[in-house]
Amino acid sequence: MHDMSGHAAVHHGEPTSFIHKHVFSLDHKVIGKQYYGLALVAVLIGMVLSWLMRIHLGWTNYAIPGLHLLSANGAPGNVMTPEYYLQLMTMHATIMVFFVLTTAPFAAFGNYFLPIQAGAEDMPFPHFNMMSFWVTFTGFLVLVASFFVSDGPTLGGWTQYAPLSALGPVGGPGEGWGVVLWATSIAIFCVGQLLGSLNFITTTLDMRCKGMSLWRLPLSAWGWFITSCMGLTAFAVLMPGCILLILDHVAGTSFFVPSNLVLNDQLQPHSGGSTLLWQHLFWFFGHPEVYIAIVPGMGIVSHVLITNLRRPMLSHRVLVYSMGALGVLSYMVYGHHMFVSGMNPVSSLAFSFPTLVITIPSTIVVLIWLGSLYGAKIRINAASLFALGFISMFISGGVSGFFLAQPSTDIMLHATYFVVGHFHLVMGVAAMFGIFAGTYFWFPKMYGRMMNETLGKIHFWCTFVGAYAIFMPFHYLGLAGNVRRYQAFVADYMQPLIPLHQFITVAALFTGAVQVIFLYNLIHSRFAGQQATDNPWQATSLEWSTPTTPPPHNNFGDTLPEVFHDPYQYGVQGSAGDYVMQTSPEQVNSPHDEA
C-alpha cells in the first residue's frame, strides 16, 4: 500500500476555520456539496419560473398574486406581458441547462465521487477546483442580477440568436443590459467548467490508486470523464462567442449584426456582420451540451442499476465505448439545429447523417440496460426506481429524436411543442431522474444518514406520472401545429388546444409541488435520518470502502486503497456475500471480470 502519512498534511491539511472548511474549501467533497446546493437553489428558481409560464399559458389573463413584485413593468396588475413571458422563458432555460443540468450530475456528484471512485485523496489542482465553484457561483449571481436591472432579463431564448441578441435595447425589454449580463454570466460559467474539466481529466488519468486501471473505473466515473472531455472543447468555443456578443453590445462592433438592418423603424448602425456565425458558435457548444447534461446521468444510472441488479451490465466495455461515441459524435451533429436557419441541402445531409448515426450508440446503451434488466431480480428502492425512470424517460424522449433528425420532417416539427416535449424528456427530466437516483444512492455516503425510502418511493411515483402528464401531451400539441415560444394561443386552430394546455399546467403545478416531499426528505434525513453504515447497498466500488462515513478529509485515511477487481463483482461467492469489493484481495473466478 502507498504510505502517504505526512504527505496528506502537506498536500492540503484539514482546515480548522469555518471559512476554509465550508466556504472556500479545497476539499473536493465540500466543493461537490456546494455545487449540489447551487443546483438545488437554481432548480427551485427555474421551477417557479416554469410554473409562472405554465399558468400564463393555461389562463392568459390570470393575475398571479404578487407577480408585480418581481417586475412592475413585466407584470402590471400582476398579469404577465408577452415580453415578460419570453424573459421568464429565457431565464428558465438558461438556469436549468447551465446551473442545474450541468452542475448537479456532472460538477456536484463528479466532484464528490470521481476522486473517491478513482482512489485518490483529492483532485490534483484543488485551488482550481475551488475557483471552479466560486466562478460558477459568480456566474449564477450575474445571471440572477438581470432580474433586477431596469427592464429585466433578456427575452432572446437560451440560444440568444443574433441579430436580436446583439442589437441592444432597441430589440425589446432585456435586450440591453439583460443580454450583456446573460453573456457575461455564461462566459464566466464557461471558465468555471473549464477549470472543473481540467481537474476531472487529470484526476481520471493521473490520480488513480494502485491497481485501478481505466477499465476498473466504475461507469459513473467514465460518465464524468467523458463529459469533462466534452466540456473542455464545448465551453472553450462558447466563451469566444459570448465575448464577441458582449463586444457587439458594449463596443459597437459588428460581428453578428448584418448591415442595413431596420428594426422598429430605426436603421441599425452596424456594418455587415453574420447572423449565422452566432448559431454556428452556439450550436457547436449547444449540442455537446445536451450530452454534457445526459452522459453523467447515464453513468450514474448504470452504476446505481448494477448495484441493485446484483450483476454487471451485459458489457461494461461496450457501454463505455458507446458513451465515448456519443461524446465524439455530439460535435458532428450540431448543424441539425440549423436545418431551417438557411443551410444548403448538402450541409443538411452532412449533419442529418451523423444525427441518425448518433442514435446507434444511444440505442446500444439502452439495449444494454434493457438486456441487463431482463430476468434480473432487481432490488426496488428509491434510487433504483429513479434509475429505471431515467431509462423510461430517455427512451420516450429519444424516440421522438428519430423524427427530428430528418430535415424533411424537422421542417414541419421545428419550432413546435414537439421539440419542446422531445428535449424536456430526453435531457431535462431524464437528467433530473439521474440526479435523483444519484441523490438517493449516495446520500448515505455524503451525510452518513439514510434517506426515507417510503417518501422516496412516493416522490418517484408522483414525479414519474407527473412528468409524463406534462411532457407527453407536448408531442400531440406539436403535431397539431402548436408553435412554441408563443405566450398566448389566439389563432383559430390553436383555440381547441387550450384545454390541453390547462391540463399540462395543472400537471406541472402538481409535479412541482410534490418536490416538497424530496426537499423534506433531504433536509430531514440530513439531520434526523437513520444512521448509515459504511456500505448500506452492499456495493463494490471504492466510495464504499472509505474508513468512515462520510469519508475523512483525505478520503482513505493514511493509506490509499489498492484495487484488485473490476468495479462490478456481483453475483459471485465472496466472503462478504454475493459481491466482492474492489479493495478485497480475495480471488474471484468470475466470468464478468473484463478488466
- 251-280 residues near other proteins, rule: CB under 8 A: 251-255, 259, 271-274, 276-277, 280
Name 188's Cβ contacts closer than 8 Å, sequence gap at least 6.
135, 136, 138, 139, 142
Binding range to other proteins, per CB under 8 A, among 151-159, 197-205, 362-370, 429-437: 197-205
We find the least distance from the C-beta atom of residue 332 to other proteins, in angstroms, to be 15
Is 535 one of the binding residues for other proteins (CB under 8 A)? Answer: yes
Q: At 375, is the secondary structure helix, strand, or coil? A: coil
Distance CA 335, CA 355 (A): 9
Nearest to 521 by CA among 469, 451, 472, 423: 451
Instruction: For other proteins, give the closer residue by CB, 106 or 474.
Output: 106
Q: Is 159 exposed, middle or buried (0-12, 13-18, 19+ CB in 10 A)?
A: middle
We find the least distance from the C-beta atom of residue 520 to other proteins, in angstroms, to be 20
Distance CA 207, CA 454 (A): 39
Is 536 one of the binding residues for other proteins (CB under 8 A)? Answer: yes
Binding range to other proteins, per CB under 8 A, among 54-62, 93-101, 400-408, 534-542: 534-542
Q: How many residues bind other proteins (CB under 8 A)?
A: 81
Strand ranges (E), 118-268: 262-263, 266-267
Per-residue x/- marks for other proteins, 216-255, CB under 8 A?
x---------------xx-xxx-xxx-xx--x---xxxxx
Identify residues 40-79 at the interface with other proteins (CB under 8 A). Answer: none
Is 201 one of the binding residues for other proteins (CB under 8 A)? Answer: yes
Identify residues 1-40 at the interface with other proteins (CB under 8 A). Answer: 1-2, 4, 6-8, 10-11
Instruction: For other proteins, give the closer residue by CB, 397 or 574.
Output: 574
Report strand pairing: 262-263 vs 266-267.
antiparallel
We find the least distance from the C-beta atom of residue 265 to other proteins, in angstroms, to be 23
**Grid cell for residue 534:** 459504511
Per-residue x/- marks for other proteins, 143-172, CB under 8 A?
------------------------------
We find the least distance from the C-beta atom of residue 538 to other proteins, in angstroms, to be 5
Distance CA 43, CA 432 (A): 10
Instruction: For other proteins, give the closer residue by CB, 50 or 227.
Output: 227
Question: Which one of 213, 266, 347, 531 is in contact with other proteins (CB under 8 A)?
Answer: 213
* 50 touches 148 (CB < 8 A): no
Number of Cβ atoms within 10 Å of the Cβ of 527: 8
Per-residue x/- marks for other proteins, 542-561, CB under 8 A?
---x-x------------x-
Count, in order, helices (H) and strands (E) of the chain: 20, 6
Question: Which one of 24, 125, 321, 353 is in contact with other proteins (CB under 8 A)?
Answer: 125
Instruction: State phi, psi for 226 to the nearest 5 degrees.
Output: -65, -40
Binding range to other proteins, per CB under 8 A, among 167-175, 208-216, 342-350, 486-494: 208-216
* 219 touches 319 (CB < 8 A): yes
Number of Cβ atoms within 10 Å of the Cβ of 436: 26
Instruction: For other proteins, give the closer residue by CB, 391 or 563.
Output: 563
Q: How far is Cα of residue 23 from the mean position of the Cα atoms in its chain?
A: 24
Binding range to other proteins, per CB under 8 A, among 137-145, 179-187, 202-210, 405-413: 202-210
* 330 touches 358 (CB < 8 A): yes
Identify residues 371-390 at the interface with other proteins (CB under 8 A). Answer: 377-381
Identify residues 574-593 at the interface with other proteins (CB under 8 A). Answer: 575-577, 581, 583-585
- What is Dmax (Cα atoms) for the chain? 80
Torsion angle in degrees (nearest 10) through CA of 72, 80, 166, 421 = 150
